């Protein structure tokens, strides 16, 4: 069964460093998402991406964050200068939603745990 994969599973970085979290969405999906979950908190939406551009982003997704689909398979989240409060589990998701279709099943990856020291 196709699945969303994410690498690395755990990333440790120093405050102020740049990190890139990688995701490989399901191959025929067209919508891609990033979410994060700070320990003990809710899963929060960060950004959605469609047709090579950002479709929607939350207040959390400030100028420190960027997303990219550098090739036909990867979808990346870059945090330019990490802060302590960026420590969280980051989930990638993808969807093959089509206009007019009921429901939007987003398939999630296992997550990357980011620890900022």
Partner 1 sequence: GEDVEQSLFLSVREGDSSVINCTYTDSSSTYLYWYKQEPGAGLQLLTYIFSNMDMKQDQRLTVLLNKKDKHLSLRIADTQTGDSAIYFCAESALDSGGGADGLTFGKGTHLIIQP
The residues binding partner 1 (CB under 8 A) are 4, 31, 33, 35, 41-50, 55-56, 58, 91, 93, 95, 97-99, 101-111
Q: How far is the CB of 4 from partner 1 (least distance, A)?
A: 7
Mention every residue, 6+ apart, whose C-beta is less than 8 A from residue 106: 31, 33, 93, 94, 95
Pull the structure tokens for residue 88.
């969280």
Q: What's the min distance (Å) between Cβ of 55 and partner 1?
A: 3
With respect to partner 1, which residue has the nearer C-beta, 6 or 87? Answer: 6
* Closest distance to partner 1 from the beta carbon of 88 (Å): 13
Nearer to partner 1, 12 or 15 (CB): 12
Taking the least distance from each CB to partner 1, the nearer of 48 and 87 is: 48
Q: Omega of the bond prior to 60 within 30 degrees of 0, cis? A: no
Closer by beta carbon to partner 1, 15 or else 38? 38
| Least distance from partner 1 to the Cβ atom of residue 76, Å | 17
Residues 6+ positions from 35 with CB-CB distance below 8 Å? 43, 44, 45, 46, 90, 91, 92, 93, 108
């Amino acid at each position: 069964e196709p699945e969303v994969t994410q690498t690395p599973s755990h990333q440790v970085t120093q405050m102020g460093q740049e990190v890139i979290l990688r995701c490989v969405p399901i191959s025929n999906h067209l919508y891609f998402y990033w979410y994060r979950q700070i320990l003990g908190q809710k899963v929060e939406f960060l950004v959605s991406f469609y047709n090579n551009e950002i479709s929607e982003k939350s207040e959390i997704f400030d100028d420190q964050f960027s997303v990219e689909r550098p090739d036909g398979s990867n979808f990346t989240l870059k945090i330019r200068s990490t802060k302590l409060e960026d420590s969280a589990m980051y989930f990638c998701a993808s969807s093959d939603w089509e206009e007019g279709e009921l429901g939007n099943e987003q398939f999630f990856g296992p997550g990357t745990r980011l620890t900022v020291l």
